[in-house]
Each structure stands twice: as C-alpha cells, then as structure tokens.
Amino acid sequence: MTDPLQPLLDLPGVRDAADRARDALAEVHRHKTNRRGWPNTAAEASVRAARASAAIDGGSMDLPAPGEAGDPILAGALRVAQALDGDSLGILVATWRRAPLQALARLHLLAAADLVDDPESLGRPRTDPGIGERLDALAQLVTGGTRVPAPVLAAVVHGELCALRPFGVADGVIARAASRLVCVSTGLDAHNLGVPEVTWMRRVPAYRDGVTAFGSGTVEGVGDWLLFCCAALESGAREATSIADAFAG
C-alpha cells in the first residue's frame, strides 16, 4: 500500500529537521534526572504545556486559586494535561493507538466542557461535509497507514486538526494534545517530557500563519509547517532540559 505521507520526506529540510527533533528528545530522556525522576518532570511539563496551549487560543496562563474555576480555556487545557499525565496517559495512549477518534472525542469532552452551551455536543465532531472523511483518513494514518518519522506524523496530525477544526470549539488545545499523543505512542517522547507549546505560544502569529499555510495544501505551505513543528519539538526538548536541571538542583 502506498504511504500517503512518504513524499513529505522529500521536501527541503524536512528529513533533517525530523532527525534533529528526534535526537533532542532522545537526549533529554537520557538526562540524569529523567532516568528515575521523569514522573516529576513530566508533570511539570504537562502544566507548562497546558498554560502555553491555553494562551495560544487566547486563554489565561494564570493558575486559579484553590476553589476557583478560573479561565475556561485554561481549565480545559489543564484537564487535558491531567489526561496526558501519570496513569491516565497510558490509558489514553492505548485508546489512541486502537481508536484515535475515540481519543479525540475524549479530549474534546475535557477541553470544551466549560465552553459549550449544549453538553450533548461534547465529543461529537461537526457534521459539515468532508469532516468525517478527513477524520477517518487521519485515523488511518495514526493506526499504521504511514511509516514517516514521528515528528512528521505529529506535525501532520496537529496541522490537520487545527485546519479542519472538527469540533468547532477547543480544536487548538485538542490538536496540540493529539500531537503529544503521537509523540508518546511512537516512542519519540515516551515520557511526555517535551514542551513545544512554549515555542508556539511565543510565536503565535507564525503559528497561525503556519496552520493557514498547511491548510492551503500547497507544497511550500505544508513544508514550512513541518519545519516549524519539528523546530518546536527540538526547542521543546530544551525546555524539558531546563525542567530536569531545576529538579536536579
């Protein structure tokens, strides 16, 4: 069967960018702190990722005081982060590998719970023409339909979900979480230590332009998005190293 993503590896710089992202994440997993203390650094990475992911979509980065609801976008991002941490991560990854659309529905339930008027809409993609077909195609890629390097697959899943906006609410938080699921499930970032969201948050205009370019489907637009995401994974590994260094004292 033809691999639909294989041609992406021939785009200028993509293969090398993916290799750099892979090597950077492998290096942070070898950090002395992460040999045994990775649950602590992963938990910190999850919180940083949630705050940055919320900010990208216009939410607050300020954690609420105990007993307060706080910003609804951040609240949803934090619920998603909890599902991507500890024992919950293993459960969600298992679902992602077997039935990625169920995992996406779960992410929407968590991310959008405070953002929709109709609770019945949670976990249900929009019924606009083409959305179901494109989600099915994405699921096929995730469940073995491609053999491209994990950073490339993560970027494609991320870009497709952002451009498609399958749920209409909290799609950005869901897309970035799905990118993390790709990284964990493929072993690229097995302990979920990287924080690429910080880079995307610091470059929101470029991030949004990248999503638009990817959605256009042009060779240049797709290539630029892949490079942008791979670079964020690489810099996210540096963020993870700073977390590990802090825990090392």
1 pLDDT higher than 80: no
- Please state the φ and ψ torsions of residue 144, each to the nearest 5 degrees: 115, 10
102 pLDDT higher than 90: yes
Q: What is the residue-averaged pLDDT of the chain?
A: 96
Q: How many domains does the chain have?
A: 1
pTM value surpassing 0.85: yes
249 pLDDT higher than 80: no
pLDDT tens for each residue of 216-241: 999 999 999 999 999 999 999 999 99
User: Mean pLDDT, to the nearest integer, of 4-26?
Assistant: 98
Q: Tell me, what's the pLDDT at 67?
A: 82
pLDDT-derived band at 66 (thresholds 50, 70, 90) equals confident
127 pLDDT higher than 90: yes
For residue 1, is it within any domain?
no
For residue 141, is it within any domain?
yes
Map 86-104 to HEC letters.
HHHHHHHHHHHHHCHHHHH
CA distance 176 to 156: 11
CATH label of the domain that carries residue 60: 1.10.3290
Which structural domain range is residue 86 located in? 6-248
For residue 210, is it within any domain?
yes
Q: Tell me, what's the pLDDT at 69?
A: 78
For residue 175, is it within any domain?
yes
Specify the range with the lowest mean pLDDT, choosing from 61-70, 101-110, 238-247. 61-70
For residue 167, is it within any domain?
yes
CA distance 12 to 8: 9
For residue 127, is it within any domain?
yes
For residue 73, is it within any domain?
yes
Burial class (CB in 10 A: 0-12, 13-18, 19+), 206: middle
